Amino acid sequence: MQVVNDELVKLMGGEAADIDYSKSKPTVILMAGLQGVGKTTACGKLALYFKKKGKKCMMVATDIYRPAAIDQLVTLGKQVEVPVFEAGNQIKPDEIARLGLAEAKKRSVDILIVDTAGRLQVDKGMMDELKQMKKVLNPSEVLLVVDAMTGQEAAALVSAFNLEIGITGAILTKLDGDSRGGAALSVREVSGRPIKFVGQGESMEALEPFYPDRMAGRILGMGDVLSFVEKAQEVMLEEEAEELQKKIMEAKFDFNDFLKQTRALARMGPMNRVVSLLPGMGKMSQEQIREAEKSLKIVESMISSMTPKERSNPELLAQSPSRRRRVALGSGRSQEQVSQMVSQLFQMRARMKNLMSIMQGGSIPGLDNLEEAWKAARKVPPGTAKRKRVRMELKSKYSSPQAATVAPKGFGSR
Ligand SMILES: Nc1nc2c(ncn2[C@@H]2O[C@H](COP(=O)(O)OP(=O)(O)OP(=O)(O)O)[C@@H](O)[C@H]2O)c(=O)[nH]1
């Protein structure tokens, strides 16, 4: 498995590839791809990504064929607060591009992102138009936007674009879908060019740099513990986590803590995406994940109809059938659902206490010293060979299938 993983990583370029910034402003990024792959959405996401890095951005709308395309980009521009240059749909795309570039220079913009029209399939007209725009713009990047759901035809598509106009990289979109992202292999293998970003949802925040090692883990169904930890750190402060760990140790985990956890989990992104990051959990079907989400909603509705005292003292509910009846009525659930939920909390307390006592001796079997190793990895400067080696060691140690412990039946599960 490790050998296959390493070969996949190599196949996809080894490590993340950054945008090639031009020496003189603006760095021009020309977006290309078939219709409906997510080019326009990717423009908005890229604009937000660079804006967060402190770059001054502007987008150019050159898709004069699809009626709503210009409005769509203008709307996305408003959403991410990045200006969009458009000149209606009566001027030729390369002329709009020329005017947009001039405007970007006037405003001394750092990054200019040019959206283009997609077609249902690769056609000569589309290629000629893109060639013309490339001549006008002389872009630093020509990014081919590929839908991750594309199957084997991705290879033909990538080579057509690369041969005709020459791409510098790709963006793989819709990775939040069921696909494992195998199209990533075609992009690199066929064009020799790196994937630079991945899109994981319709929202403007759902864009991340592409990490070959993480994608390899995903393709092999080994999850991606490192991305999971990063996401968890984004939604939960370290001190909160420590305070929670203390409560678990003392078997005092209550319904308030449970609510906090479910809300933190919701902030990490769509459940199917979060679950796919956990080793061994990739096998959960979409149906099971939807079931789990439904159970969480039911549990949350019952917790919300508890009094604050009951939330922090679940014993009150365990001892009083009338309290349980009131909660059932208040949440529109049955009394046995409330009783089951209360007893599951106590079971969870016992199980988590047991898990913690194992960890007290060092760590969870198979994930020993993950925290220390993780901290050490983050100290090594990114982009260095050492960092790559440390990440590969982390990866091999914590994301292999044997490290995957099947999660105990969760709270509210059937
Ligand atoms: N789930 C998901 N949907 C996406 C993603 N990126 C784009 N979409 C959706 O895919 C559809 C097409 O996106 P567009 O950005 O309009 O695609 P396009 O390539 O610009 O299409 P044309 O303008 O017709 O060429 C829209 O409904 C987007 O919301 C993604 O990463 N995940």
Q: Does the C-beta of 173 come closer than 6 Å to ligand 1?
A: yes
Beta-strand pair 111-115/27-32: parallel
| Residue 295 within any structural domain of the chain | yes
Domain count across the chain: 3
Domain boundary pick from 155, 188, 222: 222
User: Rounded CA gap, 263 and 378, in Å?
Assistant: 27
171 in the same domain as 211 = yes
Residues 264 and 241 in one domain: yes
Nearest CA to ligand 1 atom 29: 202
387 Cβ neighbours under 8 A, 6+ residues apart: 377, 380, 381
Q: Would residue 365 count as lying in a domain? A: no
Give the separation between CA 315 and CA 225, rounded to whole angstroms: 35
pLDDT digits (tens), the chain, 414 positions: 777 888 888 888 888 888 999 999 999 999 999 999 999 999 999 999 999 999 999 999 999 998 899 999 999 999 999 999 999 999 999 999 999 999 999 999 999 999 999 877 778 888 999 999 999 999 999 999 999 888 777 888 888 899 999 999 999 998 887 666 777 788 888 888 899 999 988 999 889 899 888 888 777 776 677 777 777 877 888 888 888 888 877 888 899 998 888 888 888 878 877 887 777 776 778 888 888 888 888 999 999 999 999 999 999 999 999 999 999 999 999 999 999 999 999 988 888 777 777 766 544 545 555 556 666 666 666 666 776 676 666 666 655 444 433 333 444 433
Q: Answer whether 116's CB lies under 8 Å from 31's CB.
A: yes
What CATH number should be reported for the domain holding residue 265?
1.10.260.30
Residue 227 lies inside a defined structural domain of this protein = no
Backbone angles phi and psi of 93, in degrees to 5? -55, -40
Which of 322, 312, 403, 319 lies closest to 365, judged by CA? 403
The answer to whether position 172 is within a domain reads: yes
Give the model's pLDDT for residue 361: 57
Decide if 228 is inside a domain. no
Which DSSP category does 390 fall into? H
| Pair (154, 276) in one structural domain | no
85 within some domain: yes
Rounded to the nearest whole angstrom, what is the distance from the C-alpha of residue 173 to the centroid of ligand 1?
8
Give the pLDDT of residue 411: 44
302-to-168, 265, 307, 340, 352 alpha-carbon distances in Å: 53, 18, 11, 11, 22
- What's the gap in Å between 393 CA and the centre of ligand 1? 36
**Alpha-carbon distance 67 to 141, whole Å?**
26
Does 54 share its domain with 195?
A: yes
Asked if residue 363 has its Cβ within 6 Å of ligand 1, the reply is: no
Same domain, 324 and 395: no
**Residue 321 located in a structural domain:** yes
* For ligand 1, mutation pick of 35, 40, 126, 273 (most atoms within 8 Å of CB): 40
Are both 204 and 292 inside the same structural domain?
Answer: no
The residues, any chain, with a CB within 8 Å of residue 3's CB and separated by 6 or more, are none
pLDDT value of position 224: 74
One domain, residues 322 and 381: no
Say whether both 44 and 121 belong to one domain. yes
For 198, counting Cβ atoms within 10 Å of its Cβ (0-12 exposed, 13-18 middle, 19+ buried), the class is: buried
412 closest CA partner among 362, 343, 349: 343
Ligand 1 proximity of 276 Cβ (cutoff 6 Å)? no
Q: 364 lies in a domain?
A: no
pLDDT for res 333: 93
HSE on the CB side for 324, CA within 13 Å?
A: 18
Contact, 207 vs 232, CB < 8 A?
no
* 254 and 401 belong to one structural domain: no
Distance 383 CA to ligand 1 centre (A): 31
312, 399: one domain: no
Residue 253 and residue 167 share a domain? no
Determine contact, residues 50/57, Cβ cutoff 8 Å.
Answer: yes
Give the pLDDT score at 108. 96
Could you tell me which of 308, 301, 309 has the C-alpha nearest to residue 341?
A: 301
Q: What is the pTM of this model?
A: 0.65
Q: Are 29 and 105 in a shared domain?
A: yes
Q: Which of 222, 248, 276 is the last residue of a domain?
A: 222
CATH number reported for the structural domain that contains residue 178 in this entry = 3.40.50.300
Mutate to test the pocket of ligand 1, among 41, 46, 197, 203 (most ligand atoms within 8 A of CB): 41
β-bridge pairing 57-61 and 111-115: parallel
One DSSP character per residue, 304-316 reads HTS-HHHHH-HHH
What is the whole-number distance in angstroms between the Cα of residue 17 and the centre of ligand 1? Answer: 23
Residue that is last in its domain, among 194, 222, 250? 222
AA identity, residue 114: V
Those residues whose C-beta lies under 8 Å from the C-beta of residue 371, and which sit 6 or more positions away, are none
Q: Supply the range of the domain harboring residue 193.
A: 2-222
For ligand 1, whether the C-beta of 201 sits within 6 Å is: yes
